[in-house]
Each structure stands twice: as structure tokens, then as C-alpha cells.
Amino acid sequence: MEKSDFGKILIAIRDNENVARTVGLNILVVKIVCFAAASVAAGLAGSLHAIANNVISPGDFSFLVGSFALAYVKVGGEDTVVGPLVGSVLLVILGSYALGLGGEEHIFYGAAIVVAVLLMPQGITGLLRGKRADRSAGAH
């Protein structure tokens, strides 16, 4: 999607909404289309969740589920598709060690978000991409 024209429009809006509006993009329509696409994806995910578990209840979607998802995205990196996957694998592995903390397990995830935002604004994938660019620039 990033390589398509619509993906480039989304990147332009993300980078500078005023410039995108200046070149004639209807920002409101694009945002509504994004909201609709995200809603379809969320509905599809919810229906697959119900099919996989044979039941669905409000307890399945607590505040912590959203917090975990935010932590996965921020730690892994939100600029790539691979970033949230890397973040989820890392935090699930580290979270298994944090299970022994009891109630402080949630503090662990909050601290992971804070550390990721402060020290790795582009997440782990951005950090790795920067190191790879430094290594390739040093080779020349």
C-alpha cells in the first residue's frame, strides 16, 4: 500500500497536512476513507477472533489489550509493517519474564513505551535501519 498512489497521499498527509491540502488533496475525504478501511480491518479481526474462540465477550477487549498493542507498535516501530511484529515478539518474550512481577507487569509495558518513545523514536526497526545505514556509509 505504501508504494501505491493512495499510500503516497497518506505519507504526504502524515508528513505535512498543510502542504498536502495546498496541492489540492481533500484531507477530510482521505481521513474518512482511512477510518473506514481501519473499521473494516477491525471488524474482520473481531469476527475472526470470535470464530477462533467460539465466543466473544467484552472482557476480551479490556484497556490492557489496547495498551499492549500500543506498546508493540511503539517499541517495534510504526513506520514499517515489520515493526509491530518485532515489537510484539520482543515484548511477549520480555513479558514472560515480567510475569513474576505480578501487578507490576503493567508498569513494565508502560516503561517500555516510555523508553521506546524517548530513546528510540522510530522503534527498534528504525534503530536497526539507522545502524545499517551507518555501516553502509562507513564502508564507502
This prediction has a pTM of 0.65
Q: 68 and 109 in contact (C-beta within 8 Å)?
A: yes
Map out the domains of the chain as residue ranges: 5-57, 62-139
Q: How far is CA 32 from CA 6, 19, 54, 104, 136, in A?
A: 13, 19, 32, 39, 40
Query: Which amino acid is residue 6, in one-letter code?
Result: F
Residue-wise pLDDT for 36-69, tens only, equals: 999 999 899 888 988 888 888 887 778 878 888 8
Read off the pLDDT band of 21 (50, 70, 90). very high
